Amino acid sequence: MASPDRATVLIVDDEPPLVELFEQYLKDEYETRTATDGEAALAQVDGDVDVALLDRRIPGMTGDEILEAIRERGYQFPIAMITAVNPGADIVDMPFDDYVTKPVDRAKLTDVVSLLLERKDYDEKSREFFQLATKRAALEASPSFDGENRAEYRAITRRMKELKSSLTESLESLSDGDMKDAYRML
């Protein structure tokens, strides 16, 4: 069972020594699950997985197929393709969150996992912010709205301010690394 204070990372590669190496890189900071084939990978997927690292070249069921199966099951945790396959036009429609070409050292792997977890946190906060904004707008549009004095309305507004501040900080943090590179490409 996953520790509530440590993120769970699923590592999938058909080369057991590489799986073990990646697990060694990550085990001090994260709970890890490993698989060397598609069936074993999909058996490891559940609501406790926070990030997955998938190789593309896996005999039997490719990483692309594993990725598709995970998304078809409704899981939206961040996924990075960690692979020796150079990216081509086929990646355009693939629902992954990062693409890293091997070889990958400890620093790069831990940076990728950390960035994906930051993005996940940002996405969850963003979703909560917009849910609250919708609720607040619905309250304000209601004919029975009696102003900003209601405790529920104030609680929504307070939480929205907290989230806005946190989202701004998260976006600035994301912008410091890989996001700046992405912005430069625009």
Q: Count H helices, E strands: the chain?
A: 6, 5
The string of pLDDT tens digits covering residues 80-136 is: 999 988 887 778 788 888 899 999 999 999 999 998 998 787 777 777 777 777 777
CB 50 within 8 A of CB 8: yes
Section 35-64 average pLDDT: 96
CA distance 33 to 70: 15
Q: Give the whole-angstrom CA distance, residue 151 versus residue 23.
A: 48
> What pTM was computed for the model?
0.73
List, edge to edge, every strand of the sheet that includes 79-83: 31-35, 8-12, 51-54, 79-83, 98-101
What pLDDT is recorded for position 1? 47
* 127-161: pLDDT as tens digits: 777 777 777 777 777 777 777 667 778 888 888 88
